[in-house]
Structure 1
């Protein structure tokens, strides 16, 4: 029975870490079903996200330092959105007062919710990093991953080369976490894959509720291509680096 109890405890902590993403999904569903008055749907979503962010901080669910990390990832995501929408990778077809160059400002919160999850899970599961590679290697790798999202439109898409480098760089790295007083660990690269896969599932839910649409979804909704998992996997590494840096600065990594 203990393995089942541990799995339930782990699932509960994961669910509590997903409060911000859950609010976004529920808001997407409700605003899709119910037409709210006075403002377009995208603007209501922005207001809901802002209120949720304020509530997270005021209630103590997020610290001010974590808010800085989440805000940084919000800006990183928004920059990516502006470029990708301009290049026609996906679109936000609905109207909205809070749209800039075709991108509604609430979209940045979808990226920020990933960072929110990482911060929450890190604290709740008392995450520690084992054999984390030198920042002199990780930072250039994460930078190359982020830049490739832009440069592959004009040059080669080197995501698979970057994926191989990720495996090499993090081959000896592990993530340790505590569940109900018992410590577990898994290869860090595997955690990237798992988080990327679940974000892909979330992406399918989001596009189903018209958060945005890919070109092949313009006529009717369809599953997001499984290859998007690789994109999310790589983007998770960027967010993971940012959160890991915060925790290291605060003295909460395994180097304590």
Structure 2
């Protein structure tokens, strides 16, 4: 239980940026923000948080680069998915591009932020990492399938099987309070995907975005979305 406490504490610290986003979503949902649209205010908070994390050295410049790249990757995907009607951002904002507020990219970037923070806080090490070119190809297929599944056959189940096979022998070692543990890397992807799904339910409850079935009242996000997040986690990784 003591080790679990230290592990949870390290995870909580690694989730600093996502927690700031969720708190901002909750506060702006429960209280009106004067003089500025809600989505624009959330974007401002995200930018200020990144500045504070850099100044306080909680985040390095290299980690910021990773977060910025994934912000762009996520924003591009958001614009496409909103255009295809997968979900929507119903509120008005100045910082909207093609119906998508700029802060939305930070929700993807927050996953990258968590993984960067967890990597150093838990001193992660990998064994039996597959050839990097195979991981690059698989990640590319995962990303483009998010686009092509509206027109072509959705191959996400094939991609999940490919992920399990590719990382079958890969283990991640992590250190908690000077003791080292290990687990299959693919299992860690599943766990992170599950907790992102929980975060997604919290985010949609506070109006971060809206699925078609949530237009009239909030409903639990389908549990099958965990598999989509699992693939996204690999892309971030």
1:106 aligns with 2:114: no
Q: Name the residue aligned to 1:237.
A: 234
Where structure 1 has 5 or more consecutive residues not aligned to the other structure, the ranges are: 241-256
1:214 aligns with 2:211: yes
Q: Name the residue aligned to 2:15.
A: 18
Cα distance between partner residues in 2 of 1:165 and 1:114: 22
Q: Which residues of 2 match residues 56-67 of structure 1 at below 5 A?
A: 56-67=53-64
Q: Which residues of 2 match residues 42-121 of structure 1 at below 5 A?
A: 42-121=39-118
Q: Name the residue aligned to 2:119.
A: 122
Q: What TM-score do you get using the length of structure 1 for normalisation?
A: 0.92
Residue deviations 1:203-234 (CA, integer Å, cap 9, x gap): 00000000000000000000000010010000
Q: Name the residue aligned to 2:198.
A: 201
Residue deviations 1:25-50 (CA, integer Å, cap 9, x gap): 00000000111111110000000000
1:171 aligns with 2:168: yes
Residue deviations 1:1-58 (CA, integer Å, cap 9, x gap): xxx1100000000000000000000000000011111111000000000000111111
Residue deviations 1:118-150 (CA, integer Å, cap 9, x gap): 000000000001111111111000000000000
Cα distance between partner residues in 2 of 1:107 and 1:58: 23
Cα distance between partner residues in 1 of 2:137 and 2:89: 32
Cα distance between partner residues in 1 of 2:103 and 2:135: 29
Cα distance between partner residues in 2 of 1:138 and 1:212: 31
Cα distance between partner residues in 2 of 1:136 and 1:46: 35
Which runs of at least 4 in structure 1 moved beyond 2 Å after TM superposition?
A: none
3-state DSSP of counterpart to 2:66: helix
Residue deviations 1:125-180 (CA, integer Å, cap 9, x gap): 00001111111111000000000000000000000000000010000000000000
Residue 97 of structure 1, CA deviation: 0.3
Q: Name the residue aligned to 2:145.
A: 148
Residue 83 of structure 1, CA deviation: 0.2
3-state DSSP of counterpart to 1:186: strand
Cα distance between partner residues in 2 of 1:200 and 1:92: 19
Cα distance between partner residues in 2 of 1:236 and 1:202: 14
Q: What TM-score do you get using the length of structure 2 for normalisation?
A: 0.99
3-state DSSP of counterpart to 1:178: strand
Cα distance between partner residues in 1 of 2:137 and 2:54: 31
Cα distance between partner residues in 2 of 1:53 and 1:132: 31
3-state DSSP of counterpart to 2:181: strand
RMSD of the alignment, in Å? 0.4
Where structure 2 has 5 or more consecutive residues not aligned to the other structure, the ranges are: none
